[in-house]
Amino acid sequence: MLHRRNLLAGAVLAPALAQAQPAWPSRPVRLVVPFGLGGSADVAARFLAEPLAAALGQPVVVENRPGAGAVIGTDAVAKATDGHTILMMSNTHTANETLLPNRPYVLLRDLRPVAAVNVAYHVLAVSPALGVRSVAELIAKAKAAPGAIDFASSGPGTPYHIAGEVFAGMAGIRLNHIPFRGSNEARTALIAGQVPMMFDAIPTMREQITSGRVLGLATTGPQRTPLMPDLPAVAETVPGYQAEIWLGLMAPRGTPDAVVERLHAAVNTILELPATREAQARGGALPLTMGVAAFNSFVEQDIVRQRDYIRMARIVAE
């Protein structure tokens, strides 16, 4: 009889206990972008914020916390305990696992993957003053004066930095890296003629190329892109070359599975909308949709891939 009473009591209490658990999210969600304004990660975060807020029933506030090669913002998320903070990350983070051995977090120890977002390729742009009009001419000029040509990037370890170093390694040339504090600063320096070349996002550089402020030489996908069909792929001159930036969301390691699953489902639903795909295509990106476990494996594999790139390009860890 006592056993039956206990069962009945449990049946009565279960709904009450479930209702007692706080709903998530119970307040605005903070989406930290560890990069500056106007870059690919910032644009993607702001694109996702509104539909994600509608899906979650709470505002999604984008907070830019750049600095130290994305370490400052990432560390803040890794240490967050409010249960309402997530990170917009990129392959800068997988490269940092090799490049920055003294960072205060370990990516897959202190954070957990939530959802992949998108992938985009770059454009190789040069100042008209450099006097080259093709990838082959750029390589020839660099071989004639090793280390004399500078290339700008949005900072050490960023995808644009890696793109330049891997290009130099595969082409058998030596370039001089000039890091800036974000893509906007690097792009401004290129337009002003302060640096002669850089790899940059196609949508943000396309206008500068069209206007003639800079010269586009090639794009970095496996084949030509519909966004700039007149430009060859770098791989047409340097076989096998490919460079991209991919984005994803991560959360602090202690985030409950149910929260991760809800976020993942909401993001993937948004990415699969035809309107999202059209907007992503206009921005030069392709949506990445995969399960949580698959994204975790993807991040693991990219850590190894970036390590191999860094070693090949002889980039020195800091």
Each residue's pLDDT tens digit, 192-247: 999 999 999 888 898 999 999 999 999 999 999 988 999 999 999 999 999 999 99
| pLDDT tens-digit series, residues 62-118 | 999 998 889 999 999 999 999 999 999 999 999 999 999 999 999 999 999 999 999
- Residue reference for tokens 């996908």: 221
Domain covering 121-236: architecture: 3-Layer(aba) Sandwich (3.40)
Same fold: 29-119+245-313 with 121-236? yes
pLDDT of residue 22: 63
Q: Is 8's pLDDT higher than 90? A: no
| pLDDT tens-digit series, residues 127-159 | 999 999 999 999 999 999 999 999 999 888 788
Rg (CA), the chain: 22
Residue, of 10 and 179, whose pLDDT is higher = 179
Question: Taking the alpha carbons of 252, 254, 258, 259 in that order, is the dihedral positive or negative?
Answer: negative
d(CA 237, CA 113): 36
Domain ranges of the chain: 29-119+245-313, 121-236
pLDDT of residue 203: 81
Residue, of 159 and 123, whose pLDDT is higher = 123
| pLDDT tens-digit series, residues 241-277 | 999 999 999 999 999 999 999 999 999 999 999 999 9
In terms of Cα–Cα distance, which of 107, 110, 100, 31 is closest to 68? 100
Residue, of 12 and 313, whose pLDDT is higher = 313
Provide CB contacts within 8 A for 194, sequence distance 6+. Answer: none
pLDDT of residue 85: 98
d(CA 115, CA 296): 9
Q: Which CATH class is domain 29-119+245-313?
A: alpha beta
CA dihedral 173, 176, 179, 184 (to 10 degrees): -70
Provide CB contacts within 8 A for 211, sequence distance 6+. Answer: none
pLDDT of residue 30: 98
Give pTM, 2 decimals: 0.81
